[in-house]
Structure 1
């Protein structure tokens, strides 16, 4: 079978297409014929050796951590899934024609949800739901800042926050992306390339600030979220795309009585709860058209390098989806 994998940590250009033997599912595992797989920042960071999360077992390494597809075979002890079923979830090595996932991290997929749409859901919407529902515990009518709001998690969070009754302020790096987040449901958009995020938030909220802020970029965004937070507000930090070392003004943290949550999806105690939310809330809402995942485009395995390079340059809106059969 064909796979997109790396043999060294020299960045996106290290990705190459290899032919390997079909993998066999172990006990408790499911082999999936990959219909579609989502690209994430963690895949970009893996090419540099900066991320070695679940599924990493050394070089050479097949990229990809989420997929939707058809069950091809099951390992010992698997009873909930049978060949032919459509599934979606966290799956290792998804940039290939076949991939292996744990049965405990898969969900059955309704036939009306296309693989390309379903593959965009697990990481983005589980992160967004963990942040908004299971950590910040968003309440109807609360102001929510999503900073930035144009990436995979950001676009998911904008729509999910609106579905939950929040009043949403989303940021983006240019006017076209800002207009897109408003089209997705954000009540207000802020262009962080030319506007002061905290100042604009205070104008919008009549100087009260937001009750919930999602920080998706780390170094360049965390302090701005703290500046924009209301008294007794909650900040959830889930990403570090601009750097891992952020300034923390302790005085403002104390003065605002703010609560800060840091989440790493795979290692969080709310992981299984977020997976249940994906199955019970997100996927049904997608099937009903209440949530519309943002897909930048669909690509083949041979286009993974270029997609990762564009992600690095922040030229992506939403998610890029890999379709192995395009090869």
Structure 2
């Protein structure tokens, strides 16, 4: 038997830490003893809504996870005691996207913590292909906050039109897990990083982890501020997961031929497109989520080789999962909410 955070019904009272049977390891799967996890927006969405995500209740939540191999098939490349990061997107290996190495686009994708039991538990069993070797240089707590936020940030920055050393990037809404990851990773490769926030404290916190300058969108006009900071040119890239509330200013902050990348729409998914601006200034717009398996490996190598310390806002145990969710929603949160198992 193991301890797990099980969602039995929607809402805060529906998520309870309880004792449940250990997961049954199927042939071709590996059983992992989970050491750490962290909270993401999708975990809150699953708890409170879950609409559009095919699943049944009860379900163990938790998309992120790192730990040690407990059991695998005889002859497996995964050995007992091996340190791994969970690649929570269970991909089919057969569709055109999987064959191209683009696992996040798999047509049969099932995500742990969304479509099947996740990692807010002492153990999780997943197909052997869903584990990435975790370098010894990264401790479990730091690694626990990497899977969703830092993989997403890596793909956004270095995916379709990779951010280059010397280029500039605007990260909209400093403070969240993905935005703090983007600040750190962009700075690592020598980009100039600008940020927005409604909080002067968060702007200072962003500067402390690598941002070069920031604009307070509550007191200042964002695009005017960004143009002033870029000598009237605009930035090469904008990372915007806010959506309707920021979209117009994000477009106006881009240089001619720049690109805007989105991985979310927390304030609404139907902003004005401004097609004239898009085609006259020849802007690129693309969406992104998660990372492919190769990108996940590259992220871990980057973190291990540079000694990057991910931004952890707060730490909770599995028994404190309700408090961890409360912290995820806190206005002054800056960085990731860690859950140790």
Same fold at TM > 0.5: yes
The alpha-carbon deviation at position 284 of structure 1 amounts to 2.9
Q: Determine if the alignment matches structure 1 residue 227 to structure 2 residue 252.
A: yes
The alpha-carbon deviation at position 306 of structure 1 amounts to 2.5
Deviations 1:91-118 (A, max 9, x none): 4311111122332232222333211100
Q: Unpaired runs of 5+ in structure 2? A: 89-111, 113-117
Aligned pairs for 1:1-327 within 5 A: 1-10=2-11, 12-50=12-50, 57-75=55-73, 79-91=76-88, 92=112, 93-265=118-290, 271-285=292-306, 289=307, 291-324=308-341
Deviations 1:264-312 (A, max 9, x none): 32xxxx6223223223323433xxx2x2200011101232223223323
Supply the distance in 2 between the matched residues of 1:243 and 1:5 (Cα, whole angstroms): 29
Q: Unpaired runs of 5+ in structure 1? A: none
Supply the distance in 2 between the matched residues of 1:52 and 1:60 (Cα, whole angstroms): 17
The alpha-carbon deviation at position 51 of structure 1 amounts to 5.8
Supply the distance in 2 between the matched residues of 1:13 and 1:118 (Cα, whole angstroms): 29
The alpha-carbon deviation at position 52 of structure 1 amounts to 6.0
Contact 1:6 1:15 in 2 (8 A): yes
Supply the distance in 2 between the matched residues of 1:244 and 1:5 (Cα, whole angstroms): 30
Supply the distance in 2 between the matched residues of 1:319 and 1:210 (Cα, whole angstroms): 26
Supply the distance in 2 between the matched residues of 1:251 and 1:239 (Cα, whole angstroms): 23
310 and 250 in structure 1: CA distance in 2 versus 1, 3 angstrom threshold: same
- TM-score, normalisation: structure 2: 0.86
Supply the distance in 1 between the matched residues of 2:283 and 2:213 (Cα, whole angstroms): 23
5 and 243 in structure 1: CA distance in 2 versus 1, 3 angstrom threshold: farther
Q: Residue 320 of structure 2 aligns to a residue in which SS?
A: helix
Contact 2:327 2:337 in 1 (8 A): no
Deviations 1:61-112 (A, max 9, x none): 1111111111111247x72211111111334311111122332232222333
Deviations 1:231-268 (A, max 9, x none): 00011001122222222111211222100011132xxx
Q: Residue 245 of structure 2 aligns to a residue in which SS?
A: coil
- TM-score, normalisation: structure 1: 0.89
Supply the distance in 2 between the matched residues of 1:283 and 1:67 (Cα, whole angstroms): 17
